[in-house]
Amino acid sequence: MQLVDLIANAAPLSDGFNRAITYLRVSVTDKCNLRCVYCMPEEGLAWLRREEILSYEEIVDIVRAAASVGVRAIRLTGGEPLLRRNVSHLVEAIAAVPGIDDVALSTNGLLLAQAAQSLAAAGLRRVNVSLDTLRADRFETIARRPGLDDVLAGIDAALSAGLKPVKINCVVMRGSNDDEIADFAALARDRDVFVRFIEVMPVHENLELSAQTYVSSDEILERIAALGELAPVAGPPGNGPARYFALPGSRGAVGVISPLSHDYCERCNRVRLGADGRLRLCLFGDHALDLRTPLRAGAGTAELAELLRSAMLIKPERHHLRLGEAASRMRAFSEIGG
């Protein structure tokens, strides 16, 4: 059967809680060229071996199967996705899959300036760029590597390449960068960008840090509201969990993502494919299904689609993450807003 026929005939993916799953996040590598304090230990992780990582062809096979059961949007992420060679080739192949109508990328922006044009030409629609500080010395403290100028150049290049909207993800940490909330809000007022403030989440590497530096999204909004009247706005189209607001006369908007204080599990529409081919059903927890083994044993689109359907049975209703408790996080990255 042709893929177009499969798409026309298949019932869309839906989990045990009646949530339609239309969004697949794909980690193309576990490696990163930064070591953000809330995400990775300074020495890095025990990286996957090359043969453990899905090839681009394998990723596209899984995307094709996902599209055949209703997935419409793909986000490439990592690790740092732009570390993998020729990501634009992958973008092009995914954008050509019938049924996929949105391909996006989450990046730390370090390599974006060089890549933005070719990514846009390949069919990438938009980017999220992580940026936690606008101060060069602080960037090096938080990311444990230099690079602020490269990230800012990457944001400019993305806007020039028409990768709109650009969303900037800022993880807020008390005593570290929370004094820059107003500077980031000013960026959203003056430039055509959406700044999303993210509550820091507890993961193995950062339990103490997250407990000590947590700032709730309500507090973040209160602090922005002190700058001027904040009106709720629709925000950009997309699949994100953010709530958006704008100061008077803003070109962009600010958003908050509140995995801890106001989780959005009931609206969850997503699953995640790890670089190792494991389909993760929830941001946290051990609910996962290995797709790499059946794929390498010759599973085709219909068989992979059935596996995706069966995975819906183990998608949990919600995460039970609490401040100060370690999340059970496999080789996952947090990717909340990414």
Decide: helix, strand or coil at residue 76. Answer: strand
How far is the C-alpha of 64 from the C-alpha of 252, rounded, in Å?
34
Q: What are phi and psi of 193, to 5 degrees?
A: -135, 155
Phi, psi of 304 (to 5 degrees): -65, -40
The correct pick among 13, 21, 24, 34 for binding ligand SF4 (CB under 6 A) is 34
Indicate which single residue of 13, 24, 39, 291 sits in contact with ligand SF4 (rule: CB under 6 A): 39
Task: Find tokens 């090096």 and name the residue.
Answer: 140
Nearest CB to ligand SF4, comparing residues 108 and 250: 108
Answer for which of 6, 40, 120, 273 binds ligand SF4 (CB under 6 A) is: 40
Which residue, 130 or 217, has its beta carbon nearer to ligand SF4?
A: 130
Cβ 54 to ligand SAM shortest distance, Å? 17
> How far is the C-alpha of 48 from the C-alpha of 167, rounded, in Å?
29
H helix or E strand, kind and range, residue 278: strand 278-280
How many whole angstroms separate alpha carbon 71 and alpha carbon 239? 12
Residue labelled with tokens 């995400």: 39
Q: Which of residues 190-219 bind ligand SF4 (CB under 6 A)?
A: none
User: If contact means CB under 5 to 8 A according to the sort of partner, which of ligand SAM, ligand SF4, none does residue 289 touch?
Assistant: none
Q: How far apart, in whole angstroms, are the C-alpha atoms of residue 20 and residue 125? A: 22
Q: Are strands 102-107 and 73-77 parallel, antiparallel or unpaired?
A: parallel
Nearer to ligand SAM, 99 or 236 (CB): 236
In the complex with ligand SAM, the residue whose CB is nearer, 173 or 305, is: 173
Q: Which residues pair with 55 in a beta bridge?
A: none
Task: Pick the binder of ligand SF4 from 7, 10, 14, 35 (CB under 6 A).
Answer: 35
Size of the site for ligand SF4 (CB under 6 A): 12
Judged by beta carbon, residue 110 or residue 119, the one nearer ligand SF4 is 110
Is the distance from CB of 108 to CB of 169 less than 8 angstroms?
Answer: no
Residues found near ligand SAM in the complex (CB under 6 A): 32, 38-39, 77-78, 80, 106-108, 130, 169, 171, 198, 200-201, 203, 206, 333-338
Among ligand SF4, ligand SAM, none, partner that 139 touches (CB below 5 to 8 angstroms by kind): none
Write down the residue that tokens 């062809």 correspond to.
57
Q: Considering the rule CB under 6 A, would residue 120 count as an interface residue with ligand SF4?
A: no
Binding site for ligand SF4 (CB under 6 A): 32, 34-36, 39-40, 78-80, 108, 130, 333
